[in-house]
Amino acid sequence: MNQHQRQACSDLLFGHWRQQTRLESLPADLLPDSRAEAYAVQACIERETAAPLFGWKIAATSLAGQQHIGVDGPLAGRLLAERVIADGGVCPLDNNLMRVAEMEFAFRMGRDLPPRGASYAVDEVLAAVESLHPAIEIPDSRFAHFERVGLASLIADNACAHYFVLGPAADTDWRGLDLADHPVTGLRNSAVAETGTGANVLGDPRLALAWLANELSAHDVVLKAGQVVTTGTCVKPLAIAAGDRLDGDFGVLGRVAVTIG
């Protein structure tokens, strides 16, 4: 693909995102042929935001999630500032196809992690973190059958990013906790809907964060100070409908909430 084709692919996908419509698949001449090419398409979406990039999401961090969308590992997507909803705010349901909410650990970076030849160790990545937050992601896809289109199309489609809710920074010593074993509860209209632990996120959300840092490094992208990384759902995604209030209870790490409009 040349740059014109990458931009055309991004424009097609973003147009469907903006209009809340779907396509079956990408045209053959706009289909990325590799992971790197798909990320190059995804990068074009930054032209659609007037604000600095808010951060990153990781999709398919559980085996069940990977099997559902036909991939063999996680994938990264960009969080646009215009798609971030304040804690306790209202998220429009509109024509959302997936209609689920995900309870996630999110990390705000305190310093840059630039691309390099050697992989970042987990401890190195954690040392660059400023704060930990409870979060809710409301994903969606621009593909009518997202589970069939394959890895490259899903990455180009921004890894099913849509809306994102960031809770307050944890005020406890989260670095001393075992995040893999930490319980997370998803509530729908004040009733417990799903429970899980951090182990559902690539075995540990800290491992997922390190994966993201190394994925960006491998594709020559800086993970920047101030950006937020949301690491994947700790619980089975909660089915949502208009009028639902969703709460993520992360125990001593805090809570986060959103209402579906």
Residues 98-138: pLDDT tens digits?
999 999 999 999 999 999 999 999 999 999 999 999 999 99
Q: Which strands sit side by side in the sheet containing 245-249, from one edge to the other? A: 90-91, 255-260, 245-249, 183-188, 191-197
Using the predicted structure, report yes or no on whether residue 188 has a pLDDT greater than 90. Answer: yes
Average pLDDT of the segment spanning 180-186: 98
Looking at the 3D structure of the chain, how many domains does it have? 1
Half-sphere exposure (CA, 13 Å, Cβ side) for 43?
Answer: 15
CA distances from 132 to 173, 180, 215, 241, 254 (A): 10, 14, 20, 28, 10
Using the predicted structure, report yes or no on whether residue 220 has a pLDDT greater than 90. Answer: yes
Domain around 72: 3-260
Q: CA 233 to CA 197: how far, in whole Å? A: 9
Confidence of residue 63 (pLDDT cuts 50, 70, 90): confident
- Residues 55/107, Cβ–Cβ less than 8 Å: no
Q: In what helix (H) or strand (E) does residue 187 lie, and over which residues does it extend?
A: strand 183-188
Q: What is the CATH number of the domain that holds 30?
A: 3.90.850.10
State residue 151's pLDDT score: 97
CA distances from 57 to 13, 31, 120, 258, 261 (A): 18, 22, 18, 18, 23
Confidence of residue 64 (pLDDT cuts 50, 70, 90): confident
